[in-house]
Structure formats: structure tokens, C-alpha cells
């Protein structure tokens, strides 16, 4: 089976955007890629640990284990022989609530919703659940494209690597601000903005902000904005 490429996924997202009025409640709904899904899962697991042990933290090994199980479960792939951590049901509930409260859908949700569009689904009807799973795990190159071949790259100097990191960080921050302009409930975008080096709130402050947002039933962005207005 050919590996799913990025173009097929983008076509699916475009179809979702064209039919948003029948598939979701808001035109401003944010679609989460793999990075955002993984971050949302990590935050959900940390929140679950906070509730059970008092520590807002989670190990990388547990996140990756749960990530694999989550993909299989949401895509209705076999999970019988897969290892799963304790309190998975609670983690899944927190994850789903996090996306809902942030007005977000992950790629698997979009994939399922687009399945409703049977008449317009022909362009990507051949996307199998296992292909989407592999795509979300990082296997997104096209194996059936004759022009897609590997080209050896020269090693990057440390200076160039640092410049590339800065460029990617700046790009992520700009996109996060744009995300908030479109969807003010997007707490992941705000987390990226507040986590700028030398300007980060820190775990305790961010957790306090998050709990204040929950108590007021508002997005973290709106609570943060209200606090700034009151300060000045």
C-alpha cells in the first residue's frame, strides 16, 4: 500500500473547509495536525496526572505509548494486543474536552466527518485508516511519485542550524498569532506565544491561568486579555 502524501491530506482539509457548514458548528474551527494533536494529548495527560497525583507532568514514554493507542482507537484499528496506561478513559475524555473547548478538530475527526460527504469524497476515498495513522506518525512521503527521490544534503553548520531554529520559532509564533485572530479559543496557539524563551510564564503560572479560565468558563486567551486590561 502506498504511503499517504501531504497533498491527499490537504485536499481532504480543503473539502472540509468548503463544507464546514454541514460538518461543524463554526467556520473558525481550527484543524489540528500531528504536532498539535500530540501537544494536546501531552497536556491532557499532565492534567490527568495532576488530578490523580498532584503533579502536572508526564513522561515522554507514556505520551508516546498513549499516542499510539489513541491513533489506533480513533481510527478503529486493532488495539487488542496494544499496551495502554492507567486512566486512559479519563485521558481521552480530557483530550476530547480540550479540543471541543478550544473549537478545534484533529485530523482524524476531519477524516471521519469528510466520510459523510460521499458524493464529494472520491478524491480521497482511497485513504485508508492505516495510511492516516502512518501519516500522523511522520511517514508522509509519496512512494508512487517517480519525481520524488532522495537528494543527499550537505551537513549544516551550527550557525545555520541556529538560524533555522530561530526561523522556525518565529514562523510558529506568527502562525499562532494568526490562529488566535481566527479562533480566540485556541489555547494551543496561546501556549506557543506565551512559551517564547525568556518570556515564558512557567508551568505554575500557566496552570493557574488555565484553572482560572476553567472556573470562568472562558478561553485562556480571553482570561489573559482581561488580566492585561485590568493591569493597565
So what's the pLDDT on residue 67? 96
So what's the pLDDT on residue 202? 63
So what's the pLDDT on residue 176? 86
CB atoms within 10 A of CB 135: 21
Any bridge partners for residue 186, and if so which?
none
**Residue 1 in this model has a pLDDT that exceeds 60:** no
**Residue 42 in this model has a pLDDT that exceeds 50:** yes
**Residue 71 in this model has a pLDDT that exceeds 60:** yes
| pLDDT grade for 88, boundaries at 50, 70 and 90 | very high
Q: Are 114 and 124 in contact, with CB atoms under 8 Å apart?
A: yes
Q: What is the pTM of this model?
A: 0.77
Residue with cell 478545534: 104
Q: Are 20 and 27 in contact, with CB atoms under 8 Å apart?
A: yes
Query: Phi and psi of 24, rounded to 5°?
Result: -150, 175
So what's the pLDDT on residue 26? 81
Summarize pLDDT for 189-231 with one digit per residue, the tens. Answer: 887 777 765 555 666 677 777 778 878 777 788 887 887 777 6
Rounded CA-CA distance 197/200 in Å is 6
So what's the pLDDT on residue 131? 92
Supply the mean pLDDT for the chain: 81
Rounded CA-CA distance 197/56 in Å is 20
Amino acid at each position: 500500500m502506498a504511503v499517504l502524501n501531504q497533498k491527499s491530506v490537504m485536499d481532504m482539509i480543503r473539502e472540509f473547509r468548503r463544507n464546514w457548514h454541514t460538518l461543524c458548528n463554526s467556520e473558525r474551527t481550527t484543524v489540528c495536525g500531528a504536532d498539535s494533536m500530540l501537544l494536546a494529548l501531552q497536556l491532557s495527560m499532565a492534567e490527568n496526572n495532576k488530578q490523580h497525583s498532584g503533579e502536572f507532568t508526564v513522561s515522554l514514554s507514556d505520551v508516546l505509548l498513549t499516542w499510539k493507542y489513541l491513533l489506533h482507537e480513533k481510527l478503529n484499528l486493532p488495539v487488542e494486543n496494544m499496551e495502554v496506561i492507567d486512566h486512559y478513559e479519563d485521558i481521552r475524555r480530557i483530550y476530547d474536552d480540550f479540543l471541543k473547548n478550544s473549537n478545534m478538530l484533529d485530523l482524524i475527526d476531519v477524516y471521519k466527518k469528510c466520510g459523510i460527504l460521499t458524493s464529494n469524497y472520491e478524491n480521497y476515498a482511497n485513504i485508508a485508516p492505516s495510511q492516516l495513522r502512518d501519516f500522523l506518525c511522520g511517514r508522509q512521503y509519496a512512494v508512487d511519485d517517480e519525481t520524488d527521490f532522495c537528494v543527499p544534503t550537505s551537513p549544516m553548520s551550527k550557525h545555520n542550524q541556529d538560524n533555522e531554529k530561530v526561523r522556525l520559532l518565529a514562523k510558529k509564533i506568527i502562525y499562532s498569532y494568526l490562529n488566535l485572530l481566527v479562533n480566540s479559543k485556541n489555547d494551543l496557539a496561546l501556549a506557543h506565544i506565551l512559551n517564547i524563551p525568556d518570556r515564558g510564564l512557567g508551568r505554575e503560572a500557566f496552570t493557574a491561568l488555565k484553572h482560572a479560565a476553567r472556573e470562568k468558563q472562558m478561553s485562556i486567551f480571553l482570561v489573559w486579555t482581561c488580566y492585561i486590561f485590568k493591569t493597565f
